[in-house]
Amino acid sequence: MDIRELYQSKLCTAEEAVKLVKSGDWVDYSQCVSFPTALDKALAGRKDELRDVKLRHAISMRPVQVVEQDPTGESFTYNVWHCSGLDRKYLDAGRAYFSPMLFRHCGSYYERGYAPVNVAMVTVAPMDSHGYFSYGLTNCAQQELIDAADIVIVEVNPRMPYIVGLEADSIHVSQVDAIVESDEDFVYPAPVKVSDIDRQIAANIFPYLEDGITLQLGIGGMPNALGSLIAESDLKDLGMHTELMSDGYLTLYQAGKITNAKKELNRGKGIFGICNGSRELYDFLDHNISILSAPMHYINDPAVIRQFSKFVSINGCLAFDLYGQVCSETAGLRQISGTGGQLDFVTGAYEAPHGRAFLATASTFTDKKGVLHSNVLPHFTNGDVITTPRAQAPWLVTEYGAVNLSGLPTWQRAEAVISIAHPDFREELIRAAEEQRIWRRSNKR
């Protein structure tokens, strides 16, 4: 059968497609921008006839209708690999559940049956002349989840850019069970505001950057501030190897800072696993042969990362303690984010011959009552999840400086960490270090 005829034979409405879902099924929505908007709405419409349908997604960008239309969770149970601001609201309300994971292992959970999939629903780019749908902005663990699925439904959206990958970047029309067409626009993240503290933290990291580094950059105000510093600097021939591509990288490409010319792997090509940003960024990626997508099992593998001579990983965290333990995903028992690839890149960057990993946070935060609190803690309590263990503590950064904890005994770690804490909390932290027997008497106050 001609591919166009095959396409037409599988084309149906979203309402028809979701009839393939049965009570008790696991349904996977992929991650981030690959969220199937029309299918989600149609599936929510079946809430009165379905029970115990479990759904899986990550980084929800728009209201999820199976959650919104089923507030008691009688029909649908929503689970997330990683959290957006919206996901945090669902988790806080008890309307969603978090699934811990290391990003480099996410695909293997599908392969090994730990994350079962009865029905996969993913948004893809329009079919090309050879019958292939590009996965576009989400390579990630897309192929593994589709291979694990009993039924595959694609939601074709002309706004999804066509992006070629190192591998696992598309699916052929013969491999899908149903096709739904949608023209709903994506939800684009609001521009991130860059604070003075973000700029100070970025300025503390910048001196450690050099020509020819391969860069993994997180998202947020600090990475954006650092991107601006780099764009205005004399640095040249940077490379991109990152799990998540955002507009910070677009700024570096537009400034001519990223050429990928010095990379030991994939020379001349920027590599990403998942993308979330502006329409301008998506247009930049469409049919751009200088940038490739790749699965997380490749991008986040420390054995791959270590092959870059000068690899630099820069990510945010929520808090760290005097021992060098880092929390990047919870505030007490409240889920804020996820492990994602932080530990993957901390591990890989250390193993690179001249690699460095930086984890950064503001030294303080102010609560709703206006009370100032330190993000540098004596030790973690109250259920805080440790994302990066003290044995792998890399460079820690606040607006007061950057310190490398690798190889330091507990008393030197305490001294280094306290040196980048807010001055108002340093005496308190010294007293805590003394009580915890990690403060040397000869240390200067």
Q: Give the residue numbers annotated as catalytic, written as ranges.
A: 243
How far, in Å, CA of 432 to CA of 156, rounded? Answer: 57
Extended strands (E) in 111-233:
119-124, 132-134, 151-156, 170-172, 178-181, 214-217
How far, in Å, CA of 258 to CA of 339, rounded? Answer: 27
Q: Helix/strand/coil (H, E, C) string of the chain?
A: CCHHHHHHHHECCHHHHHHHCCCCCEEECCCHHHCCHHHHHHHHCCCCCCCCEEEEECCCCCCCHHHHCCCCCCCEEEEECCCCHHHHHHHHCCCCEECCCCHHHHHHHHHCCCCCCCEEEEEECCCCCCCEEECCCECECHHHHHHHCCEEEEEECCCCCCCCECCCCEEEHHHCCEEEECCCCCCCCCCCCCCHHHHHHHHHHHHHCCCCCEEEECCCHHHHHHHHHHHCCCCCCEEEEEEEECHHHHHHHHCCCECCCCCCCCCCCEEEEEECCCHHHHHHHCCCCCEEECEHHHHCCHHHHCCCCCEEEEEECCEEECCCCEECCEECCEECCCCCCHHHHHHHHHHCCCCEEEEECCCEEECCCCCEEECEECCCCCCCCCCECHHHCCEEEECCEEEECCCCCHHHHHHHHHHCCCHHHHHHHHHHHHHCCCCCCCCCC
Instruction: Write the Ramachandran bin of 346: left for phi over 0, alpha for psi from -120 to 50, otherwise beta.
Output: alpha
Candidates 186, 181, 108, 99; CA nearest to 143 is: 108
* Backbone dihedral angles phi then psi of residue 293, each to the nearest 5 degrees: -90, 160
- For the beta carbon of residue 166, count every other beta carbon within 10 angstroms: 16
Quick check: helix, strand or coil at residue 397? strand
Query: What is the DSSP secondary structure assignment for residue 250, as one 8-state letter?
Result: H
Beta-bridge partners for 388:
326
